[in-house]
A and B are shown apart, each in its own frame.
Chain A
Amino acid sequence: RQGSGKKMEDTFSILYFQKNGISNGTLYKKTFIEHFEQAPMYVAVLTFLGFGVGTVFGYLRDFMRAWGLEKRNVATEREQQKDFVPLYQDFENFYTRNLYMRIRDNWNRPICSVPGPQFDLMERVTDDYNWTFRFTGRTIKNVINMGSYNYLGFAETDVNALKTVTIELQKYGTGICSTRQEMGTLDKHIELEKLVANFLGVEDAMVFGMGFATNSMNIPALVGKGCLILSDELNHTSLVLGARLSGATIRIFKHNNMQSLEKLLRDAIIYGQPRSRRAWRKIIILVEGIYSMEGSIVRLPEIVSLKKKYKAYLYLDEAHSIGAVGATGRGVVEYFGMSPDDVDVLMGTFTKSFGAAGGYIAGRKDLVDFLRTHSHSAVYATSMCPPVAEQIIRAMKCLMGLDGTTQGLQRVRQLGKNTRYFRRRLHEMGFIIYGNDDSPVVPLLLYMPGKIGAFARRMLEKNIGVVVVGFPATPITESRARFCVSAAHTREMLNTVLNALDELGDFLQLKYSRYSKSSHPELYEETRLELED
């Protein structure tokens, strides 16, 4: 059964393709299971009600503040500039002032240790309902970290692991003070670029100092006016910014929906540019490997076959998937058993799986040569710092096995095991989880705005740090908690988290799923999905 994105009914995308090719061909070499269950109707009603109550109280508070009945806690404009045009419109900040401010203590939590599987949080309290915070000076130790993007566990302070980084830091220092094209290309960058190209199995690669900037500064170099960008609905802000800065026409297709994409491609080629009917200069498809808010994996085989049929180009942003999926950690291309030549532009970041900072673009040599000469980052922005480059080199060598150990492979396998275990247990407990069964990003749906704050605060009381997201990062009715499973998490840590979630799920009534498996699978021969009707 093939499903599409979230619609009126629950969608389970289960794509079965056997090796000898039946009906839909041999595009997918293994099962691809994604879940996007819809919550019962009463949940949506209560969510809107929750926002409604919050809004009403917001108007009330604004009224009281305007009439001096309540103290104003916001910073205000200077006296000398009171007659300038106001910098912010009142209604723009309504949501921030009245809804976000109430639960603001769940974000920007400062930590004071390495962001490994456990970390130390600085305790902070608020005396005036989240308008200001102060630190008590105490630290909350050994909080289990379910929020940092530490998929392979390379965020570590082990002296042996960081030996080469320490040496390079002593040799090079921390600054570069120049751009790539001027005096900022060090031998370290050349070494790193060769290694990245080797790792991905492509001809050449180029590295940049910031992951966000890699997208926003290179997409405008690749496309311009007269080109068409087909971008997924849920693409990251950096891709959207890069697409807008390029000046090309942007059309959005529904999330991971191949019919929508094909229709857009056909219409683009048949009807050409709007009004002038000229042919498009080129068409580029922007997708991500793993979508960080949904946990879904891109349908790469179908997109590649579409791209080949319609002669479009594919730009794949593997920020979350490089190192995290695939048998040896080489990303979604390896996960689907495809060749890296199928993707025109392979982009990724080093922040998530490699515990460093920066981004890369890899592909054919002519693409990378073009970027060396025309990328905005190469001409105007500082290059990557050498100790950070060394961290990436040592992490990548570990992954590839070049350091003589199998530690890299072990980490990838451990991540896979942890991911599958975590997701399976959450399904059994009855939570609604989005995304692919193999993606280490696990969004757990909370829906109601009140539960966002309650969930994060109570998990912290149990010494577990989670990330919660609400509007505007997600649709208004679908607030969620997002877990990032790491290879460094031990089974005990995951069990602690799962038990806490079980308790909290019952307390906050978060177990919305209608398809929960039994919580005692060992009593059955094989686990089966129990559908109610």
Chain B
Amino acid sequence: MAAAGAGQQWVLVEMVQAFYEAPAYHLILEGILILWIIRLLFSKTYKLQERSDLTLKEKEELIEEWQPEPLVPPVPKDHPALNYNIVSGPPTHIITVNGKECINFASFNFLGLLDNEKVKSAAQASLKKYGVGTCGPRGFYGTFDVHLELEERLAKFMRTEEAIIYSYGFATIASAIPAYSKRGDIVFVDEAACFAIQKGLQASRSNIKLFKHNDMADLERLLKEQETEDQKNPRKARVTRRFMVVEGLYMNTGDICPLPELIKLKYKYKVRIFLEESLSFGVLGEHGRGITEHFGINIDDIDLISANMENSLASIGGFCCGRSFIIDHQRLSGQGYCFSASLPPLLAAAAIEALNIMEDNPDIFQTLRAKCERIHKALQGISGLKVVGESFSPALHLQLEESSGSRENDVKLLKRVVDYCMNSGIALTQARYLEKEEKCLPPPSIRVVITVEQTEQELDKAASLLKEAAQSVLN
């Protein structure tokens, strides 16, 4: 031990001796090398391919030369969506479109509440008391007692714990989805989901998995795949939320989702359901409560129901209803709720009155369904056009039986059919889409909307007119 210690000491002494005996230039060189190493350790990382070798003159030249695209590309004058149909006066049952009086088969006024006198007088009373606008978001003195009343009434009507109102129908589901589903979560959504849902999903930045329209086998396949993924990484799976977004009555295809099967899948794979009921609220079910009443399902099984008040309730805005546990979260994290002015009170009062009418006359739903069945039957067998949608759906599509090959030509053909009908007194419209933005673009179609105000003669007239139009244009 002592020898080793002595050996070490001996080495140290030798080193110091060598240090003293080394020539000066050697020491200086070593010193410089050590300083260089220290400098390299502390200097910033070297950026590759930096155009920092450009001189100021070259930079100015680049700035001069750069030409941006024009802010908007030019729109051709004959673009099909550029020339709107202008309605003079209210879009009621008899509508004046482009100066011509027609029967309205294009506005989603299912229960005919748009020109109901009681609704209008409720709105007038509210106008006298509150003025028009609310001048603030819900958090900053924009909450009026009518809003609270409407939320209570909607919650009571739908038999849920709580409801929350938005001031715009589109913003309802587009704000609700990103409030719960964040980056890293998984959402299973039907292909035929409407654009508002697509925007909500885009804003949420979650993983989107599309399943074929109303195809439960496809959905189950996707869920099983996700399950096997989860087993590989159980820690991640424990914090990844899963959601399913479906519509009660699809706007793009006119059919309903198979809700009982979806509930079964929900409990089997532990996926929460968000149901979008814009078209089915006030249409399906014995009392108009939507698809849950239609199928007789306990409403607590659905995590969130979102609907807009712009169809059956003939007002503006939207609402979400469900358990307080879920809905209360949106009051602080729903962007369209927190950062936007609240619904004008006259529209809220109109919605409350419309709800009153719905509750007092539950037989209008049966009447509406009968009319839908009638026209659905009458429209069968038109040569060249096929009816797309359930027999009890008040919003149908008429698509071309055989496409001409190009979407533009299909649109032009359908336009001629629509013009023929408009000239003869039936107001129709084509279903409009943003062709480049939709995930799954539906084929071009004519929208036929059935309301409770249309008489049987008018329904028959519309059907026969469509037959004539199809005959003359498509053959």
Residues of A whose CB lies within 8 Å of any CB of B are 75-78, 80-81, 83-89, 96, 100, 107-116, 119, 122, 145, 147-150, 154-157, 159, 162, 165-166, 169-187, 190, 209-213, 216-217, 220, 222, 236-238, 241, 244-245, 266, 269-271, 279-284, 310-313, 344-345, 349-352, 354-357, 366-367, 369-374, 376-382, 385-388, 391, 465, 467
Q: Say yes or no: A149 contacts B124, CB within 8 Å.
A: no
B326 to chain A, nearest CB (A): 7
Q: Say yes or no: A182 contacts B447, CB within 8 Å.
A: yes
Q: Say yes or no: A209 contacts B316, CB within 8 Å.
A: yes
B307 within 8 A of A: no
Stretch touching chain A among B106-114, B359-367, B452-460, B463-471: B106-114
B223 to chain A, nearest CB (A): 14
Q: Say yes or no: B124 contacts A212, CB within 8 Å.
A: no
B169 within 8 A of A: yes
Distance, CA A377 to CA B169, complexed state (A): 11
Contacts of A175 in B (CB 8 A): 109, 113-114, 310, 313-316, 350
Contacts of B133 in A (CB 8 A): 115, 154-155, 350-351, 354-357, 388, 391
B275 to chain A, nearest CB (A): 15
Q: Say yes or no: B170 contacts A377, CB within 8 Å.
A: yes
B199 within 8 A of A: yes
Q: Say yes or no: A178 contacts B141, CB within 8 Å.
A: no
Q: Say yes or no: B141 contacts A147, CB within 8 Å.
A: yes
Distance, CA A172 to CA B180, complexed state (A): 38
Of A75, A220, A367, most buried by chain B (CB within 10 Å of CB) is: A75
Contacts of A174 in B (CB 8 A): 114, 119-120, 123, 314-316, 346-347, 350
Distance, CA A107 to CA B242, complexed state (A): 32
Distance, CA A111 to CA B73, complexed state (A): 47
Distance, CA A173 to CA B432, complexed state (A): 25
Distance, CA A311 to CA B174, complexed state (A): 34
B43 within 8 A of A: no
Q: Say yes or no: A387 contacts B132, CB within 8 Å.
A: yes
Q: Say yes or no: A171 contacts B89, CB within 8 Å.
A: yes
B110 to chain A, nearest CB (A): 8
A114 to chain B, nearest CB (A): 4
Of A86, A116, A245, A379, most buried by chain B (CB within 10 Å of CB) is: A379
9 additional A-B residue pairs with CB within 8 Å, beyond A165-B132, A283-B68, A465-B141: A162-B132, A175-B114, A182-B106, A185-B87, A187-B87, A212-B335, A238-B335, A380-B195, A388-B344
Distance, CA A382 to CA B144, complexed state (A): 23
Q: Say yes or no: B86 contacts A187, CB within 8 Å.
A: yes
Q: Say yes or no: A177 contacts B132, CB within 8 Å.
A: no
Please provide the 9 A-B residue pairs with the shortest distance between their CB atoms, ordered closest to farther: A175-B314, A212-B340, A370-B72, A210-B168, A381-B170, A75-B325, A148-B135, A183-B106, A185-B84
Q: Say yes or no: B180 contacts A87, CB within 8 Å.
A: yes
Contacts of B343 in A (CB 8 A): 357
Residue of B nearest to A370 (CB): B72
Distance, CA A84 to CA B242, complexed state (A): 9
B393 within 8 A of A: no
Contact of B130 among A87, A110, A157 (CB under 8 A): A157
Contacts of B347 in A (CB 8 A): 174, 385
Contacts of B168 in A (CB 8 A): 209-210, 212-213, 381-382
58-84 of chain B: CB within 8 A of chain A: 59, 62-63, 66-69, 71-75, 79, 81-82, 84
Contacts of A380 in B (CB 8 A): 170, 194-196, 434
161-219 of chain B: CB within 8 A of chain A: 167-171, 174, 180, 194-196, 199, 202-203
Q: Say yes or no: A382 contacts B316, CB within 8 Å.
A: yes
- 9 A-B contact pairs sorted by A residue (CB < 8 Å): A114-B130, A148-B135, A174-B347, A175-B114, A175-B350, A183-B107, A186-B87, A186-B88, A213-B340
Give the interface size bracket for B toward A: 35 or more
Distance, CA A88 to CA B329, complexed state (A): 9
Given known contacts A281-B69, A369-B82, is B91 in contact with A169 (CB within 8 Å)? no
Contacts of A465 in B (CB 8 A): 141
Contacts of B71 in A (CB 8 A): 222, 282, 284, 313, 344-345, 367
Of A85, A172, A352, A369, most buried by chain B (CB within 10 Å of CB) is: A85
Q: Say yes or no: B171 contacts A183, CB within 8 Å.
A: no
Distance, CA A240 to CA B147, complexed state (A): 28
Q: Per-residue CB proximity of B334-345 to A under 8 Å, as 1/0?
A: 011011110110
B73 to chain A, nearest CB (A): 7
Contact of B124 among A111, A169, A211, A381 (CB under 8 A): A169
B99 to chain A, nearest CB (A): 10
Contacts of B287 in A (CB 8 A): none
Distance, CA A516 to CA B430, complexed state (A): 65
Contacts of A391 in B (CB 8 A): 132-133
Q: Say yes or no: A162 contacts B131, CB within 8 Å.
A: yes
Distance, CA A180 to CA B91, complexed state (A): 12
Distance, CA A211 to CA B168, complexed state (A): 10
Contact of A213 among B59, B113, B144, B170 (CB under 8 A): B170
Distance, CA A461 to CA B91, complexed state (A): 48
Q: Say yes or no: A211 contacts B139, CB within 8 Å.
A: no
Q: Say yes or no: A157 contacts B129, CB within 8 Å.
A: yes
B328 within 8 A of A: yes
Q: Say yes or no: A110 contacts B145, CB within 8 Å.
A: yes
Distance, CA A112 to CA B148, complexed state (A): 11
Q: Say yes or no: A356 contacts B141, CB within 8 Å.
A: no
Q: Say yes or no: A115 contacts B132, CB within 8 Å.
A: no
Q: Say yes or no: A370 contacts B141, CB within 8 Å.
A: no
A116 to chain B, nearest CB (A): 8
Contacts of A350 in B (CB 8 A): 133
Given known contacts A108-B143, A174-B314, is B69 in contact with A241 (CB within 8 Å)? no
B140 within 8 A of A: yes
Contacts of B194 in A (CB 8 A): 380
Distance, CA A250 to CA B138, complexed state (A): 29
Distance, CA A96 to CA B86, complexed state (A): 48
Residue of B nearest to A161 (CB): B131
B54 within 8 A of A: yes
Residue of B nearest to A89 (CB): B239
Distance, CA A98 to CA B104, complexed state (A): 54
Contacts of A379 in B (CB 8 A): 81, 195, 432-434
Distance, CA A377 to CA B143, complexed state (A): 26
Distance, CA A108 to CA B134, complexed state (A): 13
Contact of B95 among A100, A150, A183, A354 (CB under 8 A): A183
Q: Say yes or no: B107 contacts A177, CB within 8 Å.
A: yes
Given known contacts A122-B145, A222-B72, A312-B68, is B427 in contact with A351 (CB within 8 Å)? no
A195 to chain B, nearest CB (A): 16
B332 within 8 A of A: yes
B90 within 8 A of A: yes
Given known contacts A110-B143, A376-B195, A379-B432, is B326 in contact with A87 (CB within 8 Å)? yes
